[in-house]
């Protein structure tokens, strides 16, 4: 059995630290806003090299509160991509705005700046006020092309809120230097869902920003709009980062760079092993460094490869089989099949194969060999002499 992700192995590394921290929390009963919250925020801000990190209850809350704090409200549009987890769009709806999609780049899977530019120039808005913000998504851990997106946003007066929920420790070059994903827009939003590169033992998230006012607004909104214990400047939310989760995150953050480095090693092994096969491997542009939250290959024979992997007890997944514009939950937006052909093609061909910090080279070899053998067997079948239409049809997928 090859696991897609090994949370138990992560836990083995941190359990002593975390138990000690939990004992202290129980002793002080500081379950809400205890010292680990501020300690984690400071440590993650240092890791990202950003002025503020505000811990919240989930990645979805991070996106929702960052949008509201950036001034997004009813009647506004927020531009994003259809090839992402539903929460990117749900957060826009929760902020009262309308999600509007532009297609992804066929090479990288992240927002296509040309498609964004076309939409912004079209002035064919779907809601009363037109666009107010853009949410580029760092899909699978690869930073979106923030330089181009920021340029377009600046020209159109739009805020950029980066969905970095899959990109803890990914980097990109911006303003001539390497910077962490989630730190170059007005705000970057992180999820600490357990399976993320930096994951809690439950739900958690954070907003990162260099904007003092935006930080203050998010800080207020996460805690009932409080300015003092019983004075409230806004009707806010119960969206605080839990103290226990903060303690887990402090411990895992210490290991994140090491764990991400191992993920990059595994990605490089997969590249070496699979580059001669027909599958499309994830592209990493020269100005970006993925943290390989997922290692996603693409193939017209995706379902066949997936079936072979599962048969060999190798876990794998599809992120995502249905692009957001075709999700029943978003039917009211009025999109149809064919509206975003690149996203639809990706949804039909993507396959996430196992990658995690505790995976061995032998396991990478076994996954690669299974993919290689499956494709070779299939090629041999389709190369067999054609003795008649009926027989040949049984040999194709």
Ligand X SMILES: Cc1ncc(COP(=O)(O)O)c(C=O)c1O
Q: What is the CA radius of gyration of the chain?
A: 22
| Selected binder of ligand X within 77, 105, 162, 203 (CB under 6 A) | 203
Pairwise CA distance, residues 313 & 94, whole Å: 39
Question: Considering only 67-75, 79-87, 114-122, 301-309, which stretch makes contact with ligand X by CB under 6 A?
Answer: 79-87
Among positions 36, 50, 60, 113, the unique one binding ligand X when judged by CB under 6 A: 60
- Please state the closest distance from residue 185 (CB atom) to ligand X, in A: 14
- Asked whether position 103 contacts ligand X by CB under 6 A, the answer is no
Q: Among residues 40, 47, 85, 335, which is the contact residue for ligand X, using CB under 6 A? A: 85
> Based on CB atoms, which residue is closest to ligand X, 181 or 367?
181
Displacement of CA 259 from its chain's centroid (Å): 17
- Is residue 359 within the footprint of ligand X (CB under 6 A)? no
Distance CA 191, CA 265 (A): 24
Backbone region of residue 256 per phi and psi (left: phi > 0; alpha: psi in -120 to 50; beta: other values):
alpha
CB 161 within 8 A of CB 214: no
Residue 86 Cβ, how far from ligand X at the closest point, in Å?
8
Torsion sign over Cα 278, 280, 285, 288? negative
| 58 near ligand X (CB under 6 A) | yes
User: Which CB sits closer to ligand X, 59 or 113?
Assistant: 59
State the Cα–Cα distance between residues 167 and 190, nearest whole angstrom: 8
Structural contact between residues 63 and 161, judged by C-beta atoms closer than 8 angstroms = yes
User: To the nearest 10°, the Cα dihedral for 69, 71, 75, 77?
Assistant: -80
**Contact flag: residue 92 with ligand X (CB under 6 A):** no
Is 205 near ligand X (CB under 6 A)?
Answer: yes
Nearest residue (beta carbon) to ligand X: 59
Among 166, 245, 299, 370, binds ligand X (CB under 6 A): 166
240 vs 301, which CB is nearer to ligand X? 240
Q: Return d(Cα 338, Cα 350) in angstroms, integer.
A: 18
Binding test (CB under 6 A) with ligand X, winner from 44, 47, 193, 237: 193
Minimum CB–partner distance for residue 4 and ligand X (Å): 14
Cβ proximity of 152 and 116 under 8 Å: yes
Residue 191 sits in the site that holds ligand X (CB under 6 A) = yes
Say whether residue 368 binds ligand X (CB under 6 A): no
Question: Rounded to 5 degrees, what are φ and ψ at 227?
Answer: -110, -25
Interface with ligand X includes 197 (CB under 6 A)? no
Helices 361-383 & 243-274, crossing angle to 10 degrees?
A: 50
Sites of contact with ligand X (CB under 6 A): 58-60, 84-85, 87-88, 137, 163, 165-166, 191, 193, 203, 205
């Amino acid at each position: 059995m090859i696991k897609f992700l090994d949370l138990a192995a992560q836990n083995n590394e941190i359990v002593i630290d975390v138990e000690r921290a939990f004992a202290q929390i129980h002793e002080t009963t500081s379950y809400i806003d205890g010292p680990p919250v501020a300690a984690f925020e400071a440590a993650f801000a240092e890791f990202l090299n950003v002025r503020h990190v505000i811990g919240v209850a989930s990645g979805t809350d991070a996106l929702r509160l960052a949008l509201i704090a950036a001034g997004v409200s009813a009647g506004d549009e927020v531009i994003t991509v259809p090839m992402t987890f539903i929460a990117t769009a749900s957060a826009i709806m929760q902020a009262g705005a309308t999600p509007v999609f532009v297609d992804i780049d066929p090479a990288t899977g992240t927002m296509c700046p040309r498609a964004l530019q076309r939409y912004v120039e079209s002035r064919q808005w779907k809601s009363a006020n037109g666009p107010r913000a853009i949410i580029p998504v760092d899909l699978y851990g690869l930073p979106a092309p923030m330089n181009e997106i920021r340029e377009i946003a600046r020209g159109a007066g739009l805020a950029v809120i980066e969905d970095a929920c899959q990109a803890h420790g990914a980097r990109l070059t911006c303003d001539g230097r390497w910077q962490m994903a989630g730190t170059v827009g007005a705000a970057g939003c992180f999820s600490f869902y357990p399976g993320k590169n930096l994951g809690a033992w439950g739900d958690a998230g954070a907003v990162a920003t260099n904007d003092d006012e935006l930080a203050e607004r998010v800080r207020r909104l996460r805690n009932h709009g409080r300015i003092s214990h019983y004075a409230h400047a806004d009707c806010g939310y119960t969206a605080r980062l839990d103290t226990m989760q903060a303690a887990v995150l402090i411990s895992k953050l210490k290991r994140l760079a090491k764990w991400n480095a191992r993920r990059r090693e595994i990605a490089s092994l997969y590249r070496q092993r699979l580059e001669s096969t027909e599958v499309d491997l994830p592209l990493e542009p020269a100005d970006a460094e993925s943290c390989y939250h997922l290692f996603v290959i693409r193939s017209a024979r995706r379902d066949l490869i997936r079936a072979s992997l599962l048969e060999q007890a190798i876990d794998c997944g599809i992120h995502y089989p249905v692009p957001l514009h075709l999700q029943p939950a978003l039917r009211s937006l009025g999109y149809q099949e064919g509206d975003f052909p690149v996203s639809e093609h990706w949804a039909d061909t993507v396959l996430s194969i196992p990658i995690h910090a505790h995976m061995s080279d032998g396991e990478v070899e076994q996954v690669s060999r299974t993919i290689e053998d499956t494709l070779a067997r299939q090629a041999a079948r389709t190369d067999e002499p054609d003795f008649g239409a009926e027989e040949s049809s049984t040999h194709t997928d």
